[in-house]
Chain A
Amino acid sequence: MLGFLIGEALRDLHRAGRVAVAAILLTTLSLAALGGFWLVSTNVGQAAEQWRDRVRITVFLKQEPSAAETDELVDRVQAMPGVAAVRYVSKSEALGTLKEVLGKDASVAEQLPTNPLPASLEVMLNEQGATPEGARGLITRLSELPETDEVSGGMDWVDRLARGRRLLDVIGLGIGAVLAVAAILTVTTATTLVLHLRRQELEIMRLVGAPELVVRLPLLLQGMLQGLLGAVMAIWLLIAVYALAGPHLEPLVNQTLGLERLTFLKPHTVVGLMLAGTMLGGFGGWLARGRTAP
């Protein structure tokens, strides 16, 4: 019986012709838009996570402490909440780093009468500190240290990146939702058209006492098949775009976001998109189903 019902659904899909194709294409567009934003959002999210791990707060000291004072200061900072690790950077180490950065122009630094660079502490953040609120609290505490001259760094731009990601999610969901509604209405139209084409069959089915399930299930299956086909096409589209554009975008993404490689949607997200498409089509078929009542 199930084979018969699926066969009828396929026959109906064929009968709906161009309207069914339109429904499948709209489902494809809707899910490709959703999946595309999801793809961008996933990579931006990864960049945000990566940068969150790399965030440092630098505490510039008023004067270079003695070795004993350094140890005591490092221990005090290490004990602060939100701190994962602390590294002391002496004046001479800072100058050495500057020379490395200057490269062939390092002689400029050597002509300075005194080392103008301050000693500093590089503070790495743990999970608690790597939030905008945690970082702000830590910066306040570090600023209040008597040895502190100035504190630089923070989470604000990482936070902006995370906010950007959330905005992408909302835009993706919005566009996906609008296209999804259009797809549902098109699936409904395609199914209603099939209902019209099948009216003689439906009449015969009712006349011989076919169970309502047998009358209506092919319509639901037809919608689900359209949705599933649309989802599969959307995934293929995303894979194609990713394969073609990915290699060209990776250097740009590497320079701007620091991501070494772009990542594609995870398998469970792909399965989720296919389920979403199937349900979306099923919903369209179910809406049309109401029109079959005798």
Chain B
Amino acid sequence: MIELHRVWKVFSVGPVKVPALSDISFRVAKGECVTLHGASGAGKTTLLRLLYREELPTEGDIEVLGCDVPALRVRDVAALRRSIGVVFQDAKLLPGRTVYENVAFVLRVLGTPRREITPRVFDALRRVGLSARAQAYPAQLSQGEAQRAALARAIARKPLLLLADEPTGSLDESMAGEVIDIIKDIWARGTTVLFATHQARLAAALHQRTLHLLSGRLVKDEG
């Protein structure tokens, strides 16, 4: 499903080279749920961005869903991303659209037949417990609800792989727990999950394999 081999990512700031990831190698099998744990700046976001080809590695090999990610052409990047769901700490909901429209929007742009859109949107909203908030705008949602709407948007496409980049980062304990439960449910239904967090307690809450990043290095692979 995911395989990284000796991956380096170095950012250049003028003449200064700043290594964000150093010599990272690991594998994630299909159906696994893996937590990526590390403090802010440890390289979690950069690592996830490499997986959906938002960034290119400076060195090393990356394979995701059978694709040689750095070698992909632009149109193949789009094809890869159709199989990957991504959620972020800030939810990235479109402010001018309702929760329903936010979820339906991605289905529409991907050419989903019109008759399938409504059932799929409501199925996704039901799974995250937001059916009753379908007509609410993002500004009317709590942070936890916004994050659940973002998860609904990601799972409505039925992705093979879910990349969650600190989705609980700005949530209180109760809301974070709800999001963790939803992620567990998504994983239980067969989606491979890579969940990045700086909160050790949440990493432990998933009771799954955890990769520990420290200053861009993979220091421990446990579970």
Residues of A within 8 A of B (CB): 1, 4, 200-201, 203-212, 214-215
Chain A min CB distance to B98 (Å): 14
Contact B82 A208 (CB under 8 A): yes
Q: Which residue of B lies closest to A1 (CB)?
A: B111
Verify if B92 is at the interface (C-beta below 8 Å from A). Answer: yes
Q: Are A211 and B78 in contact (CB under 8 A)?
A: yes
* B110 and A208 form a contact (CB under 8 A): yes
Chain B residues within an 8 Å CB radius of A200? 92, 94-95
Flag if B157 contacts A208 (CB, 8 Å).
yes
Which residue from B78, B79, B84, B106 sits with its C-beta under 8 Å from A204? B106
Q: With the chains together, A211 CA to B79 CA distance in Å?
A: 8
- Contact partners of A204 in chain B: CB under 8 A: 92, 94, 105-106
Main DSSP-derived SS at the A contact region: helix
Choose from A1, A201, A207, A215 the contact partner of B81 (Cβ within 8 Å): A207
A11 to chain B, nearest CB (A): 9
Return the 6 tightest CB-CB contacts between A and B, nearest first.
Answer: A209-B81, A209-B82, A210-B109, A209-B78, A208-B106, A4-B108
What's the Cα separation between A200 and B80 when bound, in Å?
20
Q: 6 new A-B pairs (CB below 8 Å) besides A208-B106, A209-B79? A: A4-B108, A204-B92, A206-B81, A209-B110, A210-B110, A212-B75
A214 touches B109 (CB 8 A): yes
Q: How near does chain B come to A171, taking the closest CB pair, in angstroms? A: 46
> In the complex, A204→B154 CA distance in Å?
11
B195 interface contact, C-beta 8 A: no
**Chain A to chain B contacts (Cβ below 8 Å), 17 pairs:** A200-B92, A200-B94, A200-B95, A201-B105, A203-B92, A205-B106, A205-B109, A207-B52, A207-B81, A208-B81, A208-B110, A209-B77, A209-B78, A209-B82, A209-B83, A210-B109, A212-B75
